[in-house]
Amino acid sequence: MGFDAKFREDIREKCQVAEVTFEHNQRTYLLRRDIGSDPHILIEVGGVTREFFSEGDFSQALFEELDLAVPVLVGSNRLAIQPYLSTVLPIFYVRQDGGYIDPYRPPASFISDQFVEMVRFIFGLNPKHSYHSQRDLIAAKEQLDAIQRRLVVQQTVITNMSSAADDSVGMRDRLSQQSATLTKRIQGLKVSVDSAGAANDALLELLQAKEEQIRATRRQQTEFRARLAGIDSIRGEIEGEIKTLSLNEESKRVFESFFDICHRSDCGLFATSSESYAKNLMYLKDQIKDLEANANRADIQCAVFDQRLVELEEEHALIVSKLNERDRVSSTGQLVSAVQSLTKELVEAEQRLVALDRLSEERRKYLKLDEERSTTQDRIAMLSNHGRSDLEFNKLRVHVRDLTVKWMDILETPNVPREIGIDLDFKFKFGNESIDMFSGSTRNRLILAIHAAIFEAYIQDAKRPFRFLILDTPKQHELASADLAKFLHALEAVCDAHAGQILISATEYRHPIVAGDAEWTPQYPGLKQSMYLGTPKDAGKIEPDIQT
C-alpha cells in the first residue's frame, strides 16, 4: 500500500480498489486505495474512516497509529522531509524487480542516506541527519545541564538520608524481623494469664535486644572513626605530595634562571615538566576535595551514632528502672509499662523501615536520572559527530553483523568471507569486498541473509509494529529449492519465537503448509496458467493439470 504501483490497462479498467486488513495492538485496520493515477487512500479503524490524497499525509497518519516517532530528516534537495511508508517497506519487502540486487531497493530515493535513516527510524534510534539537528543539539545540552543539576540535588538528598539511616546489608531484614517479633510480643501480652510474669519476661527480652543494639551501634561508630582517621592520614600524605611537587617546580624555576643552561629565550627544556606539574597539581587538589567531602559525611555519620548511643543508653536505663520497680507496681501497671516500651520500640522499627524505603526510592530516582544522562550524552554525541559515537546504533550494527553470518551459513553461501563489516551508512563489507563484487546465486543469498538478519533483530522487540517479511518469487533468482526450504524453515522458527509472519509469492516453489498457515491460489483459468483475476462465473474452473 505504500508503493506507487503501475498496473496494466485491463486491471485499471476492471478493478477499482486494493484493500488490506491488519491488526495492531488488538485493533483492526482496513486500508483501501483506489487504483488510479492520483493517490486516494482510506484508513478505517474502530468505525472511524480517514481519507488521504497524498502519500506523505497517509504515511504520517499510519506511523502515528503505529506509535512511531516520525523524525524530520534532510532530503536530497537539502529541504526538510519525513519518512514515507514506501521508504520503510523495502526493508521488509524483497520485491522481484531489483529487490535481489541491493539490500535496500526503494521505488525512489529522496532522503539523504535513505537506507540508514530508515533503519534508524524503524529501530527507534535518533536520525543520522536531523533537519533540526542544531536546534536539537542546543535543546539536548540544556536538558543535560538540567539533569546534571537534578543529579547533584538527588545525590545530596541520598547523602543526607544515608547519614541518618543505616542501610547496611541485612538491616532491612533485621528491622522487619524485629517489627514482627515486637508485634508478636504485644499480642502475647494481651492474651497472657500471668500478666506480671509476661510483662517482666517481655521487658527482659527488650533489655537484651537494647543491649545488642548498643553494642552494634558502638561497633559501627568505631568503624566510622577508623575510616575518618584513615581519611585524615591519606589527606596528610596528599598534602605532602603537593608540597613536594611545589618544591620541584620551584627548583625548576631556579634552573631556568641560569642563563648558561640555554641561551634561547624560547627554550622548551622544561615545557613538559610545567604541563605535568599543572596536571598533577589539579589531580591532587581534586583528590583533596573528594576526601574532604568523604570526611564531612563521616563526621555527620559519627554525630548520628553519638546521638543514637545517647538515645539507646537512655532507653536502656528506662527499661532497667521499670524492671527494678516491678515489686512496687501492680501487675496491671507492669503490663501497661511493658506494652508502652514494646510499642515504642515497634514504632521506632517501623519508622526506620519507612526511612529505608524512602532511601531506596531516592536511589531509584538517582539511577533513573543517571540513565537519562547517559541517553542524553549519547544523543549529544550523535548530533555532534554524525553518528560516530552512537552507542545504540553501534550495538545494532554488531548484532545485525552476527545474525548475517548466521543466515549466510543457513543459506550455505559459498566463497564469501564471514568477516563482515557494517559502516555508519549501513553498507555491508564482506572481508574487503562490497556486495557489488558478487553476482548470481551468491548475491541472492547475501541479500536474503541481510534481510533475514535485520528482520530477526527487529522482531526481537515485541513492541515493534512491522512484523512481516515479504519475499517475492525467491525461487526464480537462482536459488536451489533445498536451500530455499532450509532458509524458510529457519525463518519460520524465528517467527514462531517472536510473533512474526513470512509472505512468499512463488510459482516454481511450494512451501509445506501447516496449522496456522494460509495459502492463496489462483481461482480463474488462463491460457497457460491459472490467474488471480477473472470473472465471477469462471471462479474455481481450473483444469486439474495446471500446477500452481
Taking the C-alpha atoms of residue 18 and residue 25, their distance in angstroms, rounded to an integer, is 23
Tens digit of each residue's pLDDT (9 = 90 or more) over 466-507? 999 999 887 655 678 888 889 999 999 999 999 999 999 887
- Complete domains list, the chain, with CATH: 1-67 (no CATH), 78-129+387-517 (3.40.50.300), 142-385 (no CATH)
CA angle 337–341–345, rounded 5-degree value? 170
Predicted confidence band of residue 170 (pLDDT cuts 50, 70, 90)? low
Tens digit of each residue's pLDDT (9 = 90 or more) over 504-527? 988 778 888 888 888 888 888 877
Entry pTM: 0.56
Q: Which residues contact 127 (CB under 8 A, 6 or more apart)?
A: 71, 73, 117, 120, 121
Predicted confidence band of residue 74 (pLDDT cuts 50, 70, 90)? confident
Q: Which residues contact 526 (CB under 8 A, 6 or more apart)?
A: none
Q: Where are the alpha helices (DSSP H) in 257-330?
A: 271-324
Question: Which residue type is seen at 241?
Answer: E
Cβ atoms 353, 339 nearer than 8 A? no
Cβ atoms 325, 134 nearer than 8 A? no
Give just the sign of the alpha carbon dihedral 450, 453, 455, 458: negative
Q: Where are the alpha helices (DSSP H) in 89-194?
A: 114-122, 133-164, 171-191
**How many CB atoms within 10 Å of residue 269?**
12
Cβ atoms 195, 189 nearer than 8 A? yes
Q: Residue 373 CA to chain centroid, in angstroms?
A: 13
Tens digit of each residue's pLDDT (9 = 90 or more) over 349-406? 777 777 778 888 888 888 988 888 888 888 787 777 554 557 889 999 999 999 999 9
Q: Give first-to-last CA distance, the chain, whole Å.
A: 25
What is the model's pLDDT at position 259? 46
